[in-house]
Structure 1
Amino acid sequence: MGSVARAFQPEAQTFSDEVSEAVCAQLERVLRDDIFSETTRMKRFLRYVVYETLHGRSEQLKGYTIGVEVFDRPDDFDPQADTIVRVQAGQLRRRLDLYYADAGLEDPVRFIIPKGQYAPVFEMQRKGSESTNKSDTSMVVTQSQVSKTLKDELQTRPGIAVLAFQDLSEGAENHFFSEGLTTEIINALIQFRYLRIISCSPTIERRGQVADIKAVAKEYDVQFVLSGSIRRVGDVCRVWVDLLHAETGEHVFSRSIDKKFIPSQIFDLQEEIASYTAAKVAAPYGVVNRYSRRNSLAQLESMPAYDVVLRYYNMKNSPAISELLSLQERVDAVKEKHPKFSPILAIWSYLRTYQVTQTLSNLDAQLGLDEALEAAKKAVSLDPENSIGYMALYQAHFHKGNYAESERVARRSIALNPNDYSMLAYYSCTNAYQNYPERALAYHEASLQLIDGPPSWFYFCKIILAFRDNDFKLVLSLLPHDITLASPLGAQRFALSAMGHLGDAERPRAILAGFRKADADYDHKLVSTLNLWHAESTLHNAIIEGLKLAGVDTGT
C-alpha cells in the first residue's frame, strides 16, 4: 500500500540520530526472532508504530489509522465495531513480553506499548558508565499528555522513578517475571497523567545491585522512588512493593502481596498486581497525592492549576457542598486564565454536573448539563487521551439521557485508565439505576479492589440494588446514619423513601421540616433531580411511592 510506504519515509525527527539508529536496529532484531518471524501482519503492525513514533507522528496512532494502514480496512472502518486493532495490540504486547523475557533479555532497547495507546515507548538500557542524554531515557511523558498552554507550569508535577523489581527467588528462572511485572507497573502508572513516571531499568552489568535512591532521584528529578522484589517458593509468589520519598527516605507506601503462581496465567497475575499497585500509589486518592497535599502546600499555592486538580480529587473522594462551592471559585479563576487547559475544563464539567444532580441548586438542570457537556467535549478535543475529560463527558451524556453515547464514552474512559476506581464506581451506579445488576456488581467489585476505605458513595450501586429488592433495612444500613442537607441528594432521596416503605413516619417528618425550612422548594428539587438519573420504570416508581409515604410532595 502506498500510504504505508509513505508512513515509513523519514520526516522531521523527534529523537536524536543515535537513538533513532539504535531503535531501528532493535526493531530488525525483534522482527527476526521466531516469535515474530511467521507473523507477517504482526511484524507490519510493530514496524508501523515504531516508525510513526520515530518520525514524530505518534499522535496519529489511533485505532482508525492503524486499521486502514496496517490491517487494510476500508475508509468507513469503525474501530468501535471492528475490534481487530485492539485485539492485535494485546497480542503484540504479549509477544513483546515473551521476547524480552527470553531472547531479548539483554537487548539495548526495549519496546513498551502502554495499554490505552498504540505509540511505543523506547526504553534505552545503558551499559556501565556510558552516559545517555536524559531526553533519551524512558521518561514516559509526551507532548500529547500535557496541555501546551500549561506545559511549563506542570513540569513540577510529582515524579516517580520506577526501579526494576528484583528477583530474590533461588535460581534465575523467575527473572522474566520480575521484569514483566516492572513493565506492567509502569504501564499502569502512566495512565495517571498528572504524574511524571520515569522507567529506570538496570544496566546489564549492574542488574541485581541495590540502587542509590537519592542518586536516582537527583538524576531524574523525581520526588518518589518505587522499588520492589519478588520471591517465589513453589506455587506461592510474594511481591513486595515499596515507595520512598527520595529526600527524607520516608516509606510512603509499603505492601506485601501473596499470590498463587500459575505459569499459564502469568500475564493476568502481573496485570492484577500492577493495577493494584498503581491504584494505591498514583490514583486520585493514592499515597502520592495525599503526601503531596500534606507536605507541599506552600509550593502548590504558586501552582494554581495543579492545586485545583488535587483539590478536585480530594473533593471527589467525599463531596461536600461547602468544598464544592469553594473549589468552583478556584476552577472558574483558572478556567478564565487558561481556557484551553483540558483538565480544568473537565473538572468544571464534573462540578457543573454534580451541582445539578446532587445538590439543591437553583440552576436550570438542562441548561447546566448542556454547559457541562460543552466543557467536557472541549476538554477531550484538546486532549483526546484525557480520562478525566471522558469521565465528565460520560456523566453529562448519561444525565441528559444520551444513553448510547454515554456508554461509548464510558468504555473509552475506562480503557484510558482501567484503574480509576471513581469512574468504575460511578459506572456501576448508572448501570444499577438502569437495571443491569450483573454489570453493575462487576464494576462495583472492581472499584472496591482498587481502594482501601472507599467513600460511602462507592456503595450506591448496592444501595440501588437493595432498594430494587425491597430490602429497605439494608438500604438504610448502607447509608450514613445522619442525613443532612450536606448529604448528596441521592442519599437523601433513598433514605427518605426507604423510611417511607418501612412505615417510619416520625423520622422523615422531622427531617423534612428542617430541610423545607432551609429551602422552601425542597420537595420539588428532590423529585425533579431523580429524573436526571433515568432509573428503570419499576425502580423509579418504587422510589416515588416511598417518598410519598414519607410525606414528600411528589406532585402526583
Structure 2
Amino acid sequence: MKSSPSISQKEINDQLDRILSFPVFSNSMILSGFLTFIVEETLEGRENLLKEYTIGTNVLAKKVGYDPQLDASVRIHAGRLRRALNEYYSGPGYNDPIIISVPKGAYIPNFELITPSIVQSPIQTLKVIFKPTLAVIPFHCLGENDLQNLADGLCDQICTEFTNFNEITVVSYYSSRKIASQGIDSKEAGQLLDATYLITGSIQSNKNLIRVRVQLIKSATDHQVWASSYERERSAMGTFTIQDDIVKHVINQIGGSHGIIFREAAKASPIKHALDVKVYDAVFWYYYLLNDLNEETFKKGLVVMQNTVQFDPQYALGWAILGETYVAGFFFGYDCSVLAPLEEGVKCGKKALSIDPRCQHAYQTLGLAYLFQHRPKDCLLIIDQWLNLKSKSTGIAGGLGFCLICAGEYERGYSLLSESIQVNPYYPWWFNAGLSIYHFQRNEYEDAVYWAEKMQRQSIVWELILKAVSYVEMENFSAVKICTQELVQIIPDFWAISKQILGSFLQSEEMINRLFKTLKKADL
C-alpha cells in the first residue's frame, strides 16, 4: 500500500464512502464492489493477494479454477474503474482531501493525502447522467426444442430495439448468452453483466397455442418489477408476426420516458431540491412534470434540465426534453425566462438531432414546436422523417399522432395515437385531447366527451371547450351551460378571444371555424 503516513484507516474509509456515493459507482455493482474489495483488502494488510484471479472469484463471481488468461473481464473492469475514479476526481471529488487511485498494471490502490492550498481551485460542476443498464437473458423454453429459435429471435430483437432508447444502456445479447450458459442465477448474472435490470422469460406451447412470459427483474434485489404474458396461435410461428407484436409491447412497457424503468426510478425518492441533479436528470424530471405539472414544478424542472445540458452538452435526450419543456411553458403560459420559448424549443430539438439523428424525443419536440409556431409543413416533414426511422416507440408515435390530428390529418394521427395508448397506458394527458378532436370531427360526440373528460382537467380550458361543443351537437344544453359558465370564470373575455384560443395550435381552418360556430351556439 502506498499512502501518506498521516492517513488513518477511518479517513480512507470516509473517502471510500464519498466515492461510492458518486452515481457512476452507486449505479454499478461491479465498480463499487471492485473498489471496496481492493481497498478493504489493502487496509487489512492483504494487498499481496490482490491478483487477477482473486478479484475475479471474489468480485466478479467467477467459478473456482477459472483461467484469467482466457477471461479478460477483470482487466476490462479495472480499466473502467480507473476511468470512473478519474471522472469522480475531475468532478465532485475535485477538492477531496484524499485521492484513491489504482495504477495501471496492478490492482493495489494508492492513497494520497492532498494538502489544501490557500487558494483552492473552483469546485467542478457535478456531471452525472443516470443511464440504467439493461440486459436480456435467454428465455427458458419448456418442452419442444424448436421453440429455441423463437426465443433467440425475441431476445435478440428486444436488445436491438432497445438501442433506439438512448436513455438506456443495453448489454449485447451475445454477452448475455455467454453469461447465461454458465448456469448462474439472475442476481449473479446481473452482477457479472453490470446490469441494473434484466429481462428474462419463458416460452411453452401446446398443439394450438404458444405462450410467452416476459419479466423485468431489478438485478440488485432480484425483485420482479414487471411481467406480462402473451398467447399467440401456433400457426403464426413460421412468420415474424409473433415476434414483432411481443417485442413492440415489451419495449414500450419497459423503455422510454413513460416506461416502467423510469416510472420506478422517478418515484423512488422524493424530489427535494431543484438542483439535485445527482439523483434526477432530464428523464426523471420529464416524467415528474407529466404527472404533477404546475408552475412551481415547471420552474424547478426547467432549471434542472438547463443544468443537465450544461453539464453534458452532448446529451441529446437532455436537449430534446429541455426543448419540450419550453414548448410546454409556452402552452401553459409559464415564465420560461426567455423571450421566445418556441424558438428555444426548436433550437434544442435541432441540437439534439445534430448530436444523435436517432434521438426520438427530438422529433416529438420539433413536431410540437412547429405546431405551435403554425408551421404545418415543417411539422409534417419532421413526422415523416421520424416515420422513416421505422421506430417501434409508440410513446413518440402518440405525440406525433397528436400533431397530425391538430394539423388536420385525422386518420393518420388517430392510427398512431390509438396504437400508442393500447400499448402504453401511461401516456400524457394531451393524447386524450387529440382523440377528442378526432371523434368530434367524425360527429362521434359521446366519444369526444369521453376523451375530453380523460384529460382530468390538466388543461381545463380545452377540456371545457371540447365538452361544450360536443354537448351543443348532442343538444344537452344544461351541460353546455355548466361548461361555458366555468370557461368565463377562468377567462372572463373568453367569448372575445375564443377563436384565437382555437387557433393556438389547430392548423385546419375548417376545424377552427366549425368549433367557433359551435361555440357561438353555446353562447346563445
**TM-score, normalised with respect to structure 1:** 0.64
Deviation at 1:543, TM superposition (A): 0.8
Residue matched to 1:253: 226
Aligned equivalents of 1:433 and 1:482: distance in 2? Answer: 16
Summarize the Cα distance change of 1:363–1:278 in structure 2 as closer, same or farther, 3 Å threshold. Answer: closer
1:200 positional shift: 4.8
Q: CA deviation at 1:236?
A: 1.8
Alignment of 1:275-314 (within 5 A): 275-295=248-268, 302-304=276-278, 306-314=280-288
- Shift of residue 251, structure 1, vs aligned partner: 1.0
Aligned 8 A contact 2:487 2:494 in 1: yes
For 1:380 and 1:323, the matched residues in 2 are separated by 27
What do residues 368-390 of structure 1 show as CA deviations (whole Å, max 9, x unaligned)?
Answer: 32232122212222332321122
Decide which moves more: 337-346 or 219-228.
Answer: 337-346
- In the alignment, the residues of structure 1 paired with residue 308 and residue 340 of structure 2 have an alpha-carbon distance, to the nearest angstrom, of 22
TM-superposition CA deviations, 1:235-267 (whole Å, max 9, x none)? 421111111112222111122211123457532
Q: Counterparts of 1:101-180 in structure 2 under 5 Å?
A: 130-133=70-73, 153-154=127-128, 156-170=130-144, 172-180=145-153
Q: Deviations over 1:394-419 (max 9, x none)?
A: 22223323333322322333555733
Q: Is the 8 A contact 2:469 2:519 kept in 1?
A: yes
Q: Which residue does the alignment assign to 1:110?
A: none
* Identical counterparts, % of pairs: 17
The residue aligned with 1:470 is 443
Q: 1:435 to 1:203 in 2, by over 3 A?
A: closer
Distance, in Å, in 2 between the alignment partners of 1:307 and 1:276 is: 26
Q: In the alignment, what sits opposite 2:422?
A: 449
The answer as to 2:327 corresponding to 1:353 is yes
Q: Describe the shift of the 1:459–1:517 C-alpha distance in structure 2 as closer, same or farther (beyond 3 A).
A: closer
Work out which of the residue numbers 316, 322, 336 in structure 2 matches 1:342: 316
Q: CA deviation at 1:351?
A: 1.9
Which residue in 2 is equivalent to 1:75? Answer: none
Q: CA deviation at 1:537?
A: 3.0
Residue of structure 2 equivalent to 1:494: 466
Q: How does 1:369-388 map to 2 (within 5 A)?
A: 369-388=342-361
Tell me by how many angstroms 1:158 deviates.
1.5
User: Could you say which residue in structure 2 is the equivalent of 1:543?
Assistant: 515
Match of 2:411 among 438, 458, 465: 438
Distance 1:203 1:368 in 2: 44
CA distance in 2 between partners of 1:254 and 1:463 (Å): 31
RMSD over aligned Cα atoms: 3.8
Q: Under a length normalisation based on structure 2, what TM-score does the superposition of the two structures give?
A: 0.67
Change (3 A) 1:508 1:206: closer
What CA distance in whole angstroms lies between the structure 1 residues aligned with 2:381 and 2:502? 23
| CA displacement, residues 206-255 of structure 1 (integer Å, 9 cap, x when unaligned) | 87664322222222222222111212323421111111112222111122
Q: Report the secondary structure of 1:256's partner residue.
A: strand
- CA 1:526–1:352 in 2, change beyond 3 Å: closer, same or farther? farther
Which structure is larger by alpha-carbon Rg, 1 or 2?
Answer: 2
Give deviations 1:156-191, integer Å, cap 9, x for gaps. Answer: 421222112222232x22322211111011112222
Distance (Å, rounded) in 2 between the aligned partners of 1:387 and 1:397: 16
Separation (CA, whole Å) in 1 of partners of 2:182 and 2:456: 56
Code of the aligned partner of 1:169: G
Q: Extract unaligned runs of 5+ from structure 1.
A: 1-127, 138-148
Counterpart secondary structure, 1:266: coil
> Which secondary structure does the structure 2 equivalent of 1:439 belong to?
helix
Contact persistence 2:136–2:176 (CA under 8 A): no
Give the equivalent residue in structure 1 for 2:246.
273
User: 3-state SS of the aligned residue for 1:442?
Assistant: helix
Query: What do the CA deviations read for 1:503-526 (whole angstroms, capped 9, x no partner)?
Result: 555555555555555555555665
Deviations 1:443-488 (A, max 9, x none): 123212321365553333431122113333332222227975x425
User: Which secondary structure does the structure 2 equivalent of 1:385 belong to?
Assistant: coil
Q: Secondary structure at the match of 1:222?
A: coil
The answer to whether the Cα contact below 8 Å between 1:169 and 1:231 also exists between their aligned partners in 2 is: yes
**What does 1:8-23 correspond to in 2, within 5 Å?**
none
**How many Å apart are 1:436 and its aligned residue?**
3.2
Provide the rounded CA distance (Å) in 2 between the counterparts of 1:343 and 1:373. 14
- Aligned 8 A contact 2:281 2:308 in 1: no
- Report how far residue 276 of structure 1 moved: 0.9
Which amino acid in 1 is paired with 2:139? Answer: F
- Say if 1:169 and 1:233, in contact at 8 Å, map to a contact too: no
Structure 2: runs of 5 or more not aligned: 1-65, 78-90, 92-123
Contact 1:285 1:317 in 2 (8 A): no
Aligned residues: 411
* CA distance 1:379–1:325, change in 2 (3 Å): same
Contact 1:242 1:253 in 2 (8 A): yes
1:480 aligns with 2:474: no
User: 2:499 pairs with 488, 504, 527, which one?
Assistant: 527
Q: What is the aligned partner in structure 2 of residue 140 from structure 1?
A: none
